[in-house]
Amino acid sequence: MDNTNDFVKDITNIEEDFAKWYTDIVLKAELADYTDTKGCISIRPYGYAIWENIQKYADNKFKETGIENIYFPVLIPESLLQKEKDHVEGFAPEVAWVTEAGEEKLDERLCIRPTSETIISTMYSKWLSSWRDLPFLYNQWCNVLRWEKETRPFLRSREFLWQEGHTIHETEEEAIDRTLKMLDIYAGIAENLLAIPVIKGIKTESEKFAGAVSTYTIESMMHDGRALQSATSHYFGQNFSKPFDIKFQDREGNQQYAYQTSWGLSTRLIGGLIMAHGDNRGLKLPPKVAPIQVIIVPIAQHKEGVLEKVYNLNEKLSSKYRVKVDDRDKYSPGYKFNYWEMKGVPIRIEIGPRDIENNECILVRRDNAEKITVKLEKIDKIIGETLEDIHNSMFNDCKKRMEEKTTIAYNIDEFKENMDTNQGFIKAMWCGKEECENKIRELTGAKSRCMPFNQEKISNKCVCCGEPAEKMVIWARQY
């Protein structure tokens, strides 16, 4: 069986129909599949292995800063959801309700967790008594359900996997510091694990999380120039601690309300990986998150000594790298090359009788298709160096694209022209009025992504209304 191009011909060209290309990759690379539950996907083993690597990396980073894992119920009484007005209004359209158990009507509706601030806050009010108990530095890994009208695998599923961290603190300063610390961790996950550069900033008032005082974000750019909100960190102040009575006795013996944070990332990062790095041959995975870092493909494996050498090489490398041997005997090497390219494995090793004679192998990079001949005694060292170089190269490619697709606009006509001719990030000044945000979205389809921490004074005037403006905003069409 050959058909070496099977895994390419079924993929829509990335430049012709990006949305269809994305779906093709999800299905063809066996990351996920559609289910009979409308709007929900099944994450397949390869896709889940990517999530596990993200989860492990993130969990370790959290714990290095004192975070502990915890778990709360998936069902939340309606009375709890009603306690924080802005929060319930923000999530009301997306909430799914449980109203019956067996044949009995419930006395009170239970919402299926869209997020857990309310039930966690209730428990914190029970557990907290003194300033000596603080801070609570807790996180949970779980699933959530939001009744999205339009869904797309990983990017916007009704049910998805995530982590949600919820901390409470003695002072405002400590809470804000924790909020920003988690944002920095998220930026490190995106850049150091996923090889995706991000912009850090604060959301505008209209774009912040329902119930938050401030929402901070990391924004990344996909291949087509659209933005992906990759993770968020929220400072709640006392917006939840007051309605949920999260109080403690302070150092002077007085009762005070705690200061609170919340922060999360989800499986939409897998969608970000696909759209930031993929190409017309399929997935392209950064080495640190790839379930398989090195695939070994034997050439003429039926010949004496080939598989034995391959298994020995696999054993040697497996102590340091995530390695797999493709010794399926019903498929040609060409078929296997295409199969593993589709799955985005960073390095392929080809080894056959002639290579064994010469004590060498062929190493092929997925990111740039470069082929090199490597002596077997040096393969361990070369793989380590190559994996590091692949990560840096993929990061730099994304960064270059982001720079090329970032423009400046001084007025609304220029804004529209930039967005239509070079879809990407637009840097533009903003007066602070929600009306201008709404008008820009109406005219261009772009939303404010964030007010970046690294501010630039482009001009003194709002890009929309021309009135005085102090803040530079990153704008983009989004996923």
Domain boundary among 252, 277, 302: 277
Question: Residue 4 above 70 pLDDT?
Answer: no
For residue range 224-233, list pLDDT tens digits in order: 999 999 999 9
For residue range 20-75, list pLDDT tens digits in order: 999 999 999 999 999 999 999 999 999 999 999 999 999 999 999 999 999 999 99
- Looking at the fold, whether 20 and 68 belong to one and the same domain comes out as yes
Q: What is the CATH number of the domain that holds 415?
A: 3.30.110.30
Is residue 361 within 8 A of residue 351, CB to CB? The reply is: yes
Of the chain, the percentage scoring pLDDT greater than 90 comes to 94
Mean pLDDT, to the nearest integer, of 135-154? 96
- Looking at the fold, whether 431 and 387 belong to one and the same domain comes out as no
- Looking at the fold, whether 382 and 452 belong to one and the same domain comes out as no
For residue range 345-398, list pLDDT tens digits in order: 999 999 999 999 999 999 999 999 999 999 999 999 999 999 999 999 999 999
**Per-residue pLDDT at 1:** 42
Report the number of distinct structural domains present in the chain: 3
Position 117 in a domain: yes
Mean pLDDT, to the nearest integer, of 10-25? 95
Position 139 in a domain: yes
The rounded distance, in Å, linking the Cα atoms of 1 and 363 is 24
Q: What is the CATH number of the domain that holds 124?
A: 3.30.930.10
- For tokens 């129909």, the residue is 17
Domain boundary among 391, 414, 436: 391
- Looking at the fold, whether 28 and 133 belong to one and the same domain comes out as yes
**Per-residue pLDDT at 3:** 44
- Looking at the fold, whether 133 and 82 belong to one and the same domain comes out as yes
Contacts of residue 336, defined as CB under 8 A and 6 or more positions apart, other chains included, come to 295, 297, 326, 328
Position 319 in a domain: yes
DSSP code string of 325-391: E---TTS-HHHHHHHHHHTT-SEEEEE-HHHHHTTEEEEEETTT--EEEEEGGGHHHHHHHHHHHHH
- Looking at the fold, whether 362 and 421 belong to one and the same domain comes out as no
- Looking at the fold, whether 115 and 262 belong to one and the same domain comes out as yes
- Looking at the fold, whether 414 and 387 belong to one and the same domain comes out as no
The rounded distance, in Å, linking the Cα atoms of 187 and 220 is 10
Position 289 in a domain: no
**Per-residue pLDDT at 382:** 98
Closest residue by Cα to residue 86 from 124, 120, 115, 126: 115
Give CA separation, 244 vs 47, 79, 124, 359, in Å. 38, 11, 9, 69
Position 398 in a domain: no
- Looking at the fold, whether 386 and 300 belong to one and the same domain comes out as yes
**Per-residue pLDDT at 86:** 73
- Looking at the fold, whether 314 and 442 belong to one and the same domain comes out as no
- Looking at the fold, whether 298 and 345 belong to one and the same domain comes out as yes
**Per-residue pLDDT at 138:** 98
Structure tokens at 239: 């917006």
Mean pLDDT, to the nearest integer, of 413-434? 97
Q: Which domain holds residue 452?
A: 406-476
For residue range 68-108, list pLDDT tens digits in order: 999 999 999 999 888 876 776 777 788 999 999 999 999 99
Closest residue by Cα to residue 419 from 431, 405, 432, 430: 405
Query: How many Cβ atoms from other residues are within 10 Å of residue 32's Cβ?
Result: 21
Position 282 in a domain: no
Position 201 in a domain: yes
Domain boundary among 364, 391, 418: 391
Q: What is the CATH number of the domain that holds 308?
A: 3.40.50.800
**Per-residue pLDDT at 8:** 56
Position 325 in a domain: yes
- Looking at the fold, whether 61 and 207 belong to one and the same domain comes out as yes
pLDDT band at residue 2 under the 50/70/90 scheme: very low
Average pLDDT of every residue of the chain:
95
The rounded distance, in Å, linking the Cα atoms of 292 and 188 is 22
For residue range 162-215, list pLDDT tens digits in order: 999 999 999 999 999 999 999 999 999 999 999 999 999 999 999 999 889 999
